[in-house]
A and B are shown apart, each in its own frame.
Chain A
């Protein structure tokens, strides 16, 4: 735009004055000077005419009516709340002078605000097939396991009943586990292996120590069994030669047996006495 001055108005000021003139802000001398400039200036004159024409064209544009579904769609995509219910709330809140939402409404709004983006994603068609398949798999699995939705109605939720159900289920699981053929076979194998291994390991450590000191080359006598190998083993016994019967009774019979046998030949008093041999059957239980 050339910087030309005519009637006190410069061309570079024309833009500002043009808006003011069209808006009716220019008055008096300023407005006269502006109109005089438009009449004389070859650039600003046609510009003014064009701008005025354009403004008049735009006046023909009336507001368009938004689609009826727009509000519903907006509310569904933001709050996801039923609009009918909201309308009732709006009319109710208009009557009230001051509005204070209850904690329940605030909690609901917070929860719906948090869930809405997730729910919006879930509702996308690309996830629909996945959820369908998951639901189908779950229903097949439940029917295979014998769970019927109708049975859920008859479930008692008393603590005693729940405990009873728990123990019943546990017993059923244990029974089922133990009755599995594979488990049974494994257990029997383990038992068999144990039977084979236990005799070799049975000897205690103390006895092994005695073996080292044993130079007799005799077979080991098991001390935990009876002294006699069987019930018919003979044990020699004789009448005591000591001063009294009580003395002989105080002695250990086993040791007494061996002492009597040894002392019989050495003691001169005993040589004239008749030897009485008594055979006893001793049984150690």
Chain B
């Protein structure tokens, strides 16, 4: 958990023009923001671009952050989420709905999802297997609807509590819980279907 006082001080220094404070913020939050972008956009290149955009936007609007209204991490996540939604709307026309046979992973050597699942038992190395399972789940996650995906990412991958998620998504907590449950269930169904096809 972030120390509210420390972060507020860091933000104040940054607003006053302290470049070192800004670098500290970037160093602290770049991993979190990159991961949200990567899980939401599905591609490493897009995630890098989006993370940069998030920080540029954050740098310009840092003075508008009010520590009394909420935690800095919630503010940062809200900016990230809004930018991701904008990006999703912009690229809606260009996006194709990938089937499980399409290579949705960002990595160049990624195999189609069905092949990844087929070879799941083959690799002897547990670490490699774990990585491939991770890529499979990542590919399935990319197939969820944006509403469910963002809720699941914020809860299960970013460990935000329901109230924070409700603030970020601007919906009631009950809706957040419902979306998270539906997202998890949908993900499980997608993966079970894939297994069944492979078997």
Q: Which residues of A approach B to under 8 Å, CB–CB? A: 15-16, 18-19, 47, 50-55, 57-67, 70-71, 73-75, 77-79, 81, 83, 86-87, 89-90, 93, 99, 101, 105-106, 108-110, 112-113
Contacts and interface: CB of A to CB of B under 8 A. Distances in A.
B177 interface: yes
A71 B26 contact: yes
A78 B59 contact: yes
A99 B17 CA distance: 12
7 contacts: A15-B177, A16-B174, A53-B192, A63-B31, A74-B26, A74-B51, A108-B17
A284 B60 CA distance: 97
B16 interface: yes
Interface in B125-174: 130, 133-134, 137-138, 140-141, 152, 156-157, 162, 174
Contacts of A62: 130, 134
Which 8 pairs, one residue from A and one from B, show the smallest C-beta to C-beta distance? Answer: A109-B17, A54-B184, A54-B188, A66-B34, A50-B185, A89-B20, A53-B188, A58-B156
B61 to A, nearest CB: 12
A63 B130 CA distance: 13
A109 B19 contact: yes
Given A64-B38, A66-B30, A74-B51, A50 B189 contact: yes
B16 to A, nearest CB: 6
A15 B178 contact: yes
Contact of B184 (A55, A101, A105): A55
Interface of B: 13, 16-24, 26-27, 30-31, 34-35, 38-39, 44, 48, 51-52, 55-56, 59, 130, 133-134, 137-138, 140-141, 152, 156-157, 162, 174, 177-178, 180-181, 183-189, 191-192
Contacts of A57: 137, 140, 187-188, 191
A54 B186 contact: yes
Contact of B134 (A54, A61, A75, A89): A61
Given A86-B23, A106-B17, A70 B30 contact: yes
A106 B180 contact: no
Contacts of A16: 174, 177
Contact of A77 (B56, B133, B178): B56
